[in-house]
Amino acid sequence: MEVSKSVIRRLPRYYRALGDLLKKDYSKISSKELSNIMGLTASQIRQDLNCFGGFGQQGYGYSVKELYQEIGEILGINKPLKTILIGTGNLGKTIAEHIEFSYNGFELIGLFDNNDRVIGQKIANLEIMDINNIKKFCIENKPSVAVLCIPKKAAENIAPILINSGVKGFWNFSHYNLVLYYDDVIVENVHLDDSLMALAFGVNSKINK
């Protein structure tokens, strides 16, 4: 099934909004109501959901629970992906502790660092392992996703090892532009610095207007 990237981008927002509605005991919702909550037009919402076969019924709306489960299935949240995290500095540590991996369809199975002082310590119930053992670990445990919380150069060095060991997806906090060099991997970049700079630009434009 080929679905446009912008629809996929919106699916987590649908999933989140529907999860909120479930918690508030909503059983059904119209595209109009959903559009108010999400800030999209009702026709946009109908279009988006039609991409996946359209679960709504004319004059009734959508079953919140069914739609929630269906989107969860589409996102693959019900079958957690084995995931490793590399780099347990400030950022990596927070990511490991803070993000609810299991809620989002991932299972964190290994942490790696190259710093002797942290190897052996525990974060999120996992012991930090030596980066030198990562190849062996990947071959034995077959993680399909790696979270990169390391500098650009380190990411560049570790990427081929991971990809050759079967890693298919990257949650990339490093500034290494993976997709430039590997075209057969799925990459989600989180460039916090870039986001900050875009904000600076926006606010400065506003102030100086």
Q: Does 194 bind a copy of itself (CB under 8 A)?
A: yes
Q: And the tokens for 14?
A: 């649908």
Q: Which is nearer to a copy of itself, 114 or 189 (CB)?
A: 189
Could you say whether residue 41 binds a copy of itself (CB under 8 A)?
no
- From candidates 50, 57, 182, 198, binder to a copy of itself by CB under 8 A: 198
Using rule CB under 8 A, residue 129 touches a copy of itself: no
Does 139 sit near a copy of itself (CB under 8 A)?
Answer: no
Q: Looking at beta carbons, which pairs linking 18-22 to residues 24 or more positions away fall under 8 Å?
A: 18/64, 18/67, 18/68, 18/71, 19/68, 21/64, 21/68, 22/64, 22/65, 22/68
Exposure on the CB side of residue 173, measured as CA atoms within 13 A = 18
User: Which of 76, 133 has the CB closer to a copy of itself?
Assistant: 76
196 binds a copy of itself (CB under 8 A): yes
Q: Which of 75, 124, 154, 161 binds a copy of itself (CB under 8 A)?
A: 75
Query: Which residues, in sequence order, are CB contacts of 55 under 8 Å at separation 6+?
Result: 49, 62, 63, 66, 67, 70
Which residues partner with 86 through β-bridges? 112, 148
Chain residues binding a copy of itself by CB under 8 A are: 8-9, 11-13, 15-16, 38-39, 74-77, 79, 81, 90-91, 93-95, 97-101, 103-106, 144-145, 168-171, 175, 177, 179-180, 186, 188, 190-207
